[in-house]
Structure 1
Amino acid sequence: MTMAFVFSVLLLGLCGHIASGGQSTSTSTPGALNYELPTSEYETPDTFNAGIVGPLYGMVHIFLNVVQPNDFPLEMVRKIIQKNFDFSVDSKEPESIVLALKIAYYEIGVLICAALGLLVIILMPLVGCFFCMCRCCNKCGGEMHQRQKQNESCRRRCLAVSLLVICLLMSLGVMYGFVANHQVRTWIKRTQKLADSNYRDLQVLLNETPKQIDYILVQYNTTKDKAFSDLDGIDSLLGGRIKDQLKPKAIPVLDSIKTMATAIKQTRDALQSMSSSLKSINDGSTQLSANLTSVRNSVETSLNSSDCAADPARRICDSIRSGLSNLGSNHDSTQLPSVDGELNTINDIYKTDLESLITKGYTSIDEIPAKVGSQTLAVIADVKKALDSISSNITSVSQSIPIKEVLFDVSNYINDSNSYLQQELPKLEEYDSYWWLGGLIACFLLTLIVTFFFLGLLCGVYGYDKRATPTRRGCVSNTGGIFLMAGVGFSFLFCWILMILVVVTFVIGANVEKLLCEPYANKKLLQVLDTPYLLKEDWQFFLSGLILKNSNINLTFEQVYRDCKGGRGVYATFHLDNVFNITENFNIEKHTGKIKKELENLNVNIDNIELLDKTGKKNLEDFAHSGIDAINYSMYLKEAEKSPTKMDLLAFASSLEEKANQLPDGKLKQALNTDVQNIRTIHHQQVIPLQQSLNTLKQSVWTLERTSEKLPEKVNKIIVSLESAQNFLINNVSSIVIEETMKYGGTIIGYFERYLKWVSYAITEKMTSCKPLATAMDSAVNGVLCGYGADPLNLFWFGIGKATVLLLPAIIIAVKLAKYYRRMDSEDVYDDVETVPMKNLENGSNGYHKDHLYGVHNPVMTSPSRY
């Protein structure tokens, strides 16, 4: 405990000069920066587990709570400390008498138990002496004569069972004593190990402090690099944000105009295709009509020849003649007007190159980041200079903390303290061996007594013969009785000595547990130390006067212990802002003011953004009034749906060929077959191309019809949207630029604000965690004083005291039970029928001789030793 206090005061001195790091912590910074102090691992446990002997310690604590149920006397302890630990009672001072009475009342349980122990210490030697003399006078069971009584067998068994139970309980207490003595034996080694562990933790605390300070300084460079990266990328960050604000308004309009430009191109292509198709149709229809007329005239000429005058040729010619009327063209070229006028109009519109104008609109939006980058080069350079100057300021503030000198002195003091501890512990180990030997002797004495009782029971029970008379008991039974009396004798010899040991260890152990261990665990001991003007009369708060040189600051032991236990930094724990004000030295506004001032010079000009000029608008309007919406597309579709010919030429040619083949060979048949070939040639060379032209016309008409549907309304809607987007850019682009510039500057400043806030938080709350201090105090009090000292000591007196107290009933029972096992010099004899006591007469007179009943001669026996 002393060494822990030395370590505590030592590090409190350190805390008075610096705000440095101990246990690590991590703090996540919003955004892309994460700050995390270097991790420190401490090996000393926060809690101390007694292991398998823990339940035994708990049992002793329950007993102490029964003996001493009073709460920790806060006020009484305060008064005692204020009186400089004067325990004298002056009858002339009523306050001292009252205080003495309060102490007696608080210690009433301990005093009663100690008084009972003293009573045993005083009476046991006297009782033993009188008992010895009494037995020498053949009293107190010293006469070697056993009188016969009723239920003798039951009494003997009850006494044996009672003594066995008592001996088992005593054995349990002796085991407690052995366990406690072993714990005491190993406390030096465990203390050595615990001290080394705390020493290494304190060294880790001191070694990690410079690393954490260096880490904090390095993190500024990390933050600055991040800011430099954002400054270098101002074109994509600031310019990109401005562009993203404008795109939702501008891009959809440009996309609509681009769609309309595509529609103009498609319209021109469709009109060109339609015009070409109409020309092909007109030419093809005229040529087809002429060719079909020529073929029809040729067939008619053949049918009018003399070859068709007689049957069966006449019937065949008549059937052919009836189908000739449909052999002709199905189109009238005059019914499809030309679209050359509309095509010329669209060609004039297309010459404007609307797509290039739209590209300029896109470019004006896409060039915003580049404009921002080019316009802010000088300001970015000034901001970087301001950031570099902040870096030098933070470095100078950090170097102003005299940490290296203090750490050097503290490290030397800790090393000297550890060396002193290493030298003194071996000396304590020598004294501890004496205590261990004394405890071992006490346990062995009790073990010897219990062994005598166990041997007496063992020999007495197994050597007892129901048929043997008291004067004829066997050697084993008699030996059992002698063992019992030997146990009684050793009990009288050593009981009072053992009780002295029990009383002394009980008074010490119980008061240490109730006045130190228990109040330390529930923090009432710390509350006593926090009493104003207690430890020093002119200091209201002792800790603040010791550390901060100002006793009026509310700094308490309980608060310091709680904060250190929770891993809080020494700066906040010990209110070191009264020594070194981190907030003032790391003032956020002071350091970020330069950055704000430089960022205010950011002047981005991206006005005069024109999505589409007047030429482009006029182009759209001309397209809307081009007249393509007035074309009668249904007429063209209706004409395009018609077949090129009135009949299927291939089918007619096949029918004509079949009928011609029925004619006899001659000029008629040959002429008709020639016409069949001409018809088929007309179909392949004229009908099929004409049909393709009709299909092309149909596709072109569909395209134009779809494009021209509500064309003026579409164009008008686009123009309205264009004007709205352009007005938005004119009226809002400046405010958007200002807003995004402020956000951008806020982001840059935010990096350093978060960094400086983290620095303040890390130094005040997490850096130099004083947890090793709380752990060292716990190690000293909970570990060494209570866990390694008081608990084994309390378990020792509890076990030895339990066994010693049980010696009292064991003595009584053993004396009574020995009568049933030892061989007697004389005995009472009873008749089988009538209970007539026969006095054993060594001179053979006054009544029946016992040999008359048993039928054997029984000479007078020499009485064995009564002890």
Structure 2
Amino acid sequence: TFANNTPAQVEYLTAQYTTAKNKVLSDLDNIGPLLGARIHSNLEKEVVPALDAALRMAGAMRETKEALENVSSSLETLQDGMGKLQASLAGERASLSNTLSDPACTNGAVSHTCNTIRSTLAQLGINADFSKLPDVSRALANVNTILKVDLSNIVQKGYASFNDTPTLVKDQTKNIVSALPRVKGMLDKIGNEITAFAKMFPVEASLANFTIFLNQQHKTIESFYPQVDQMDFYRWIGCVAVLCAVVLVLAFNILGLLCGTCGYDKQATPTTRGCLSNTGGNLLMAGVGFSFIFAWVLMGLVTTMFVVGGNIEKLMCEPLSNRQLFKIIDTPFLVHPEKKNFLPAMLFQNPNIDLTLGAMYRECYENNGLYHALQLENIFNINSFLNRTVYNKDLGKVLEGVKVDLKNVALLEQVGRDNLMNFANSGLGEIDYPAYLAELNKGIMLVDLLSFCSDLEEQADQLPRGALENALKGHASSIRTIHREQVVPLEQAMKYVKARSTLSQSIKLLQKTSGDLPVKVTNILSAIDAAEYLITNNASYVVKQEAKGFVQTLVGYFQQYTNWVKNSLTAEVAQCKPISNIVDSAEIVACSFIIDSVNTFWFGLGGCCILLIPSIIFSVKLSKYYRRMDTEDVFEDSPYNDTLNWFPRASAPPSDW
């Protein structure tokens, strides 16, 4: 899989250049919308706020007209109601004054009361006088004249003219589109160079040779399978034979102990011991004999396997397991006295490359690419090739001649400018807004008419009964009627309440709109002039900057491609995990399966050899108590020369033994 997939991966890397190339050609083909959108985005930071302010001012004009109309109608309603009330109060005040002029009020006892009532006549009048407020008809007429010009439509034309920037850019960059075949040829040439360089990189050929080598070695190994199977059979026979020898000695010892123990009789003399006991003793001696026969073979075999297996374990397997073996092999000038690093010397005939076996194993263990693991950039430096080939300066020269003329972009026509200035001079600032608000904050009457009537009736009750008293109470009744029929509707009727509310809101809106209105209009016109100056005089600088950014975007596609190629070669293409797996598998097979088995075998066999020594001693000592003797043991009478008591002599075995 490793050998088959790697060429396809390299081919896929080179093929993806077409994706970046097609994206560049597509952007160049759509340079008008794309570059125009970039220019539009750069300019809209100045243009759009200015046009938005002008559009808001157009809305303020319509709101101003509506507010002035509301002021005019509300003021007319309030003036009508207050005028009728004022006329009624004036008539009642004159009538009451005539009554107080009656000769009856000259009487000394009555004159004080009449004078008191006469002093309150001035309170019988209205407080809020809307008839004194200035008229807004002039300002309304000016605004109506201004609104005959549709400023919103003029501003929308400015938006449309500015938003048409991509179309202008498209029309003025047709020469770039016409140069696409030349750009395509240039990019195709780069693609051919990349393909040619990829073919120079001997991945496919090397891996093909490597695959052939693996297949040949596999066939060679397979040809030795019969011999290996035969040798394994001989190995198995030999191990079984050795184990059978050990088992034979063990069997003689166990059977000897079993027969001797079962047939042992304490009352029997050595010459009268039973057959079972004698057999046990003979079996023990047979085990001793076979021990001497096979001991030298076992010891020689243990020694040989110890020397081979132990040294391989300590010198090869343990260093390979903890990777110290790589450090030893990577020691400079160790493998070859004239070559600093043997691996690059063997692979690339360049011993000065800082490539070690341990570093390659670590990279492959992490499943990185073979290009990075073998540091092939020292032989085939793809980074420098891509930087030299893909980043072509000729691509930037294609857009060096881009020129876009935006002088035809008009944000606000002269009619719109005049309309804004007329609105600033419409007379909104001349309206006396504090006077309106002051009258709206006043109450309708100077005094509460009901309280006034009550006081008048109390004063009348202090007078002698007669025509004067009745006349004053009649006036109080008339004033109550005025309050009920005129004052209360002015305070509570929806018509007048709505008129006061509308007048208050409209005046506040007009006051807010007219505040610094000339300054606001001047600022709007200045912002539009600045935006138009930017478009007219600085457009070339903006176009140059955005064209440069557009080129950077095109180059960015190739930069993304090269970065992707570098990352892919480092981590994804020709991932060399199989190489580290070969090392790990070799360690498992050679050390864990073979050497560990050999060491386990000689260790167990050596233990058996050591145990043969006490087995021989034990069997020899014990067999004399089980075997049948031809003669009895003889002891001397002298207690001083009785050496047999101290060291008993074994009788000779039977003749038939």
Which bracket does the TM-score occupy, shorter chain normalised?
A: 0.7 to 0.9
Q: Relative to structure 1, is the Cα distance of residues 679 and 591 closer, same or farther in structure 2, using a 3 angstrom cutoff?
A: closer
Comparing 786-795 with 551-560, which one deviates more in the overlay?
A: 551-560
* Alpha-carbon distance in 1 for matches of 2:577, 2:333: 20
Task: Measure, in 2, the Cα distance between the counterparts of 1:462 and 1:354.
Answer: 132
Asked if 1 retains the 8 angstrom alpha-carbon contact of 2:330 and 2:342, the reply is no
Q: 2:274 and 2:636 mapped to 1: Cα distance?
A: 21
The whole-number CA distance in structure 2 between the counterparts of 1:376 and 1:559 is 58
Structure 2 unaligned residues grouped into runs of 5+: 99-117, 454-475
Which of these residues, 618, 621, 629, is aligned with residue 816 of structure 1?
621
Pair 1:268-2:65 in alignment: yes
Deviations 1:265-311 (A, max 9, x none): 3233222222233333334444455567789999999xxxxxxxxxx
| Structure 2 counterparts to residues 820-835 of structure 1, below 5 A | 826=632
Gaps of 5+ in 1: 1-203, 302-320, 654-671, 842-859
Tell me the CA shift for residue 208 of structure 1: 0.4
Which of 442, 445, 468 aligns to 2:245? It is 445
Q: CA deviation at 1:336?
A: 1.8
Q: Would the alpha carbon gap of residues 462 and 255 (structure 1) be closer, same or farther in structure 2, given more than 3 Å must change?
A: farther
> Which of 767, 792, 797 matches 2:597?
792
The CA RMSD over aligned residues, in Å, is 5.5
**1:523 aligned to 320, 326, 340, which one?**
326
The CA distance in 2 between the partners of 1:866 and 1:255, in whole Å, is 134
Q: Deviations over 1:79-100 (max 9, x none)?
A: xxxxxxxxxxxxxxxxxxxxxx
Deviation at 1:596, TM superposition (A): 2.6
Shift of the 298–623 alpha-carbon distance from structure 1 to 2, 3 Å rule, reads same
Superposition map of 1:170-185 within 5 A? none
Asked if the contact 2:405/2:539 (under 8 Å) is kept, the reply is: no
How many pairs are equivalent?
625
Alignment partner, residue 224 of structure 1: 21
The letter of the residue matching 2:503 is: L
Equivalent residue number for residue 296 of structure 2: 496
TM-score w.r.t. the length of structure 1 is 0.58
Q: Normalised by the size of structure 2, how large is the TM-score?
A: 0.73
User: What amino acid is aligned across from residue 790 of structure 1 in structure 2?
Assistant: I
Please give the alpha-carbon distance, in whole angstroms, between the structure 2 residues aligned to 1:432 and 1:683.
Answer: 129
Match in the other structure for 2:10? 213
8 A Cα contact 2:40 2:165, kept in partner: yes
Counterpart residue number, 1:705: 511
Q: Deviations over 1:452-499 (max 9, x none)?
A: 344555666787788988788787776654443332221101111222
Q: Secondary structure at the match of 1:523?
A: helix
SS in structure 1 at match of 2:135: coil
CA contact (8 A) 2:46 2:531 kept: yes
Which residue of 2 is the match for residue 803 of structure 1?
608
Q: Taking structure 1 as reference, are residues 358 and 524 closer, same or farther at Cα in structure 2, changes over 3 Å only? A: closer
Cα distance in 2 for partners of 1:206, 1:556 equals: 22
Aligned to 1:748: 554
Matched residue SS, 2:134:
coil
2:307 paired residue among 484, 487, 507: 507
Partner residue, 2:461: none
> Which secondary structure does the structure 2 equivalent of 1:698 belong to?
helix
2:152 is matched with 355
State whether residues 269 and 632 of structure 2, in contact with CA within 8 Å, keep that contact through their aligned partners in structure 1: no
Rounded Cα–Cα distance in structure 1 between residues aligned with 2:31 and 2:410: 24
User: Per-residue displacement from partner, 1:354-405 (whole Å, max 9, x unpaired)?
Assistant: 4344434544553444444444454256456254554444345445667666
Residues 640 and 694 of structure 1 are in contact (CA less than 8 Å); yes or no, is this contact kept in structure 2? yes
Deviation (angstroms), 1:436: 1.1
Decide whether the 8 Å contact of 2:391 with 2:555 is kept in 1. Answer: no
The alpha-carbon distance between structure 1 residues 426 and 323, as it changes in their structure 2 partners (threshold 3 A), is farther
Alignment-derived partner of residue 184 in structure 2: 385
Counterpart CA distance in 2 for 1:760 and 1:620 is 61
Q: Does the CA-based 8 Å contact 1:828-1:839 persist in structure 2?
A: no
| Percent of residue pairs bearing the same amino acid type | 37
Q: Is the 8 A contact 2:168 2:406 kept in 1?
A: yes
Task: Check if 1:772 corresponds to 2:572.
Answer: no
Give the aligned residue type for 1:443. L
CA distance in 2, matches of 1:481, 1:570: 72
Q: 1:744 to 1:471 in 2, by over 3 A?
A: farther
Q: Is the 8 A contact 1:555 1:574 kept in 2?
A: no
Instruction: Tell me, yes or no, if structure 1 residue 635 matches structure 2 residue 435.
Output: yes
Q: Taking structure 1 as reference, are residues 735 and 692 closer, same or farther at Cα in structure 2, changes over 3 Å only? A: same
Is contact 1:473–1:821 with CA below 8 Å preserved after alignment? yes
Aligned AA for 2:605?
I
Letter in 1 for 2:5: E
Are 1:593 and 2:393 matched, yes or no? Answer: yes
Q: Residues 360-439 of structure 1 correspond to what in structure 2 (within 5 A)? A: 360-380=157-177, 382-383=179-180, 385-386=184-185, 387-398=187-198, 411-439=211-239
Contact 1:516–1:525 (CA under 8 A) maintained in structure 2: no
Change in Cα spacing, 1:230 to 1:816, as seen in structure 2 (3 Å) is farther
- 1:285-364 aligned within 5 A: 285-290=82-87, 332=129, 334-364=131-161
Whether the aligned pair in 2 keeps the contact of 1:588 and 1:756 (CA below 8 Å) is no
- What's the secondary structure of 1:595's corresponding residue? helix
The one-letter code of the counterpart of 1:438 is: G
Q: Aligned partner of 2:329: which letter?
A: L
Task: Give the CA deviation at 1:220.
Answer: 2.1
Give the residue type in structure 2 aligned to 1:385.
Answer: K
Q: Secondary structure at the match of 1:795?
A: helix
Structure 2 letter corresponding to 1:269: E
Opposite residue 621 of structure 2, the aligned amino acid is K
Q: Which amino acid in the other structure matches residue 243 of structure 2?
A: C
What is the CA-CA distance between 1:229 and the residue it aligns to? 5.4
Distance 2:129 2:518 in 1: 33
SS in 2 for 1:768: coil
The change in CA–CA distance for 1:218 and 1:463 in structure 2 (over 3 A counts) is farther
Q: How far does residue 215 in structure 1 lie from its aligned partner after superposition?
A: 1.7
1:278 is the counterpart of 2:83 = no
Give the 5 Å matches for 1:241-256: 241-256=38-53
Q: By how many angstroms is 1:432 displaced?
A: 0.9
Distance of 1:696 and 1:533 partners within structure 2: 105
**Structure 1 residue identity aligned to 2:598:** L
Native 8 Å contact 2:93 2:124 kept in 1? yes
Cα 1:354–1:461 change in 2 (3 A) is farther
Q: Is 1:558 aligned to residue 363 of structure 2?
A: no
Deviation, structure 1 residue 721: 5.5
In 2 relative to 1, CA 338–760 (structure 1 residues): closer, same or farther, beyond 3 Å? closer
User: What aligned pairs does 1:558-637 form with structure 2 within 5 A after superposition?
Assistant: 558=357, 561-562=360-361, 564-565=364-365, 567-571=367-371, 582=382, 586=386, 588-589=388-389, 592-606=392-406, 612=412, 616=416, 619-637=419-437
Q: What is the Cα deviation at residue 412 of structure 1?
A: 4.5
Q: Deviations over 1:25-67 (max 9, x none)?
A: xxxxxxxxxxxxxxxxxxxxxxxxxxxxxxxxxxxxxxxxxxx
Q: Which moved more, 1:334-343 or 1:247-256?
A: 247-256
Which secondary structure does the structure 2 equivalent of 1:385 belong to? helix
**For the structure 1 residues 253 and 585, does the alpha-carbon distance in structure 2 shift closer, same or farther, using more than 3 Å as the test?**
closer
Shift of 1:526: 3.5
Q: Alpha-carbon deviation of 1:807?
A: 1.8
